[in-house]
Amino acid sequence: MRRCLLLGTLLLCWLLPAASASAAADDAGDGDRIVLVGSVLVDRGETASDVVVFDGDVTIRGEVTGNVVVFDGDVTIRGSVAGDVVAFSGLATLGRRGSVDGDVVYGDDKPVLAPGADVGGEVKKFDFGDAGLLGAIALWVAFTVSLFLLGLFLLLLAPRAADAIAGTAKAKPLLAALVGLLAFFLIPAIAILACVTVIGLPLGVVLLLLVVPLYAISYCAAALVLGRVILKQARILAFVVGLVILQLLTLIPIAGGIVGFLATVFGLGAVLLALVRARS
C-alpha cells in the first residue's frame, strides 16, 4: 500500500515489457511482474519481486518478496508474500498454506482466509479517502501507456517523417517553439470561429476533433526530440527515453503542467515546420 505511488512511477521503466505483458506474464524468473491486461502466475519454485496487475487475476503459488497489487481482478495466495496484498476490485483468497507478512487490503469483497492461512499484519478495508491519489496515478499511467503506444505506432508507420521532425527541431528550435505557440492557440480559435458560420461548420468540427490527437502527436514528437539529444541515432529507444523523462517531470506539482505544455508546443511547431519543409 505504501509503495503504490512508487510502483506507479517505476512502471515507466517497464513500458516495453508491459506492452506485451499478456504474452510474458507467465514466464518464470525473478523481478517485478507488471501487467496492464492479463493474468499473472508465480508458480511453485518461482520468485517475483513486486506484482502489479491493472486488469487480470493473480495466483501466487511461489514466493513474492515485495507487494501484490491488483486493481481489477481476483487474487489467490497459496504461497508466500513478504509485503502487502491489495485487491481494489476483486476477491482475495488465501489458501491454507498462504502466507502474507504485511497487510491484506481489500476494496469490494472481504478476503477469504482458509484455516491455516497466515497474515502478519491486518485484514482491512481500503480507505477510499485515498482514492483520489490512486485515481490520479492510474490516470497518469493510462496516459503514459497510451502515448507510448501512439508514438510507437507512428514511428513504425512513418520512420522517415519522425527523422524529419527531429532534424527540423534540432536545426530550428526557436522557430519551432514560436510556430508551435502560435498554432497551439490559433487552431482551436479558428475552429471555433468556423463553427459560427454555416459554410465553415464542417471544417470547424473537424478541426476541433483533430485538436486533441494533434496535441498528443506533438507531445510524442517532443519526446522523440528530447530522446534524440541523448541517443543520437536510435528512434524507438530515443522516444522511450524522452517519454520517460517528460512523464516523470510532469509528476512535479505545478512545474509538471508547464513542462507538458511546453513539450506539446515545441513538438507541434516541429511537426508543422517538418510538414512545410516536406512540401517545399
135 with 214, same domain: the answer is: yes
121 with 138, same domain: the answer is: no
Range in 46-60, 119-133, 147-161, 165-179 the model is least confident about = 119-133
Averaged pLDDT score across all residues of the chain: 85
- Say what the pTM is: 0.57
Nearest alpha carbon to residue 159 among 273, 236, 218, 214 = 236
85 with 20, same domain: the answer is: yes
Nearest alpha carbon to residue 245 among 256, 234, 235, 232 = 256
140 with 260, same domain: the answer is: yes
Residue that terminates a domain, selected from 102, 126, 150: 126
Q: If pLDDT is split at 50, 70 and 90, which confidence band does 128 have?
A: low
- pLDDT, one tens digit per residue, over 238-273 is 999 999 999 999 888 788 899 999 999 999 999 999
259 with 138, same domain: the answer is: yes
Please say whether the beta carbons of 102 and 81 come within 8 A: yes
- The three cell numbers of residue 16 are 516495453
105 with 150, same domain: the answer is: no
Q: What local confidence, expressed as pLDDT, does residue 97 receive?
A: 92
73 with 180, same domain: the answer is: no
171 with 219, same domain: the answer is: yes
Task: For residue 54, give its domain range.
Answer: 4-126
Total tally of structural domains belonging to the chain: 2
Please say whether the beta carbons of 48 and 42 come within 8 A: yes
The pLDDT of 187-214, averaged and rounded, is: 89
Indicate if the pLDDT at residue 20 is higher than 60.
Answer: no
DSSP state of 130: G
Indicate if the pLDDT at residue 98 is higher than 70.
Answer: yes
9 with 107, same domain: the answer is: yes
What SS3 state is found at 52? strand
Q: What local confidence, expressed as pLDDT, does residue 160 receive?
A: 92
How many angstroms separate the Cα of 142 from the Cα of each of 35, 36, 62, 147? 12, 9, 29, 9
Residue that terminates a domain, selected from 126, 143, 178: 126
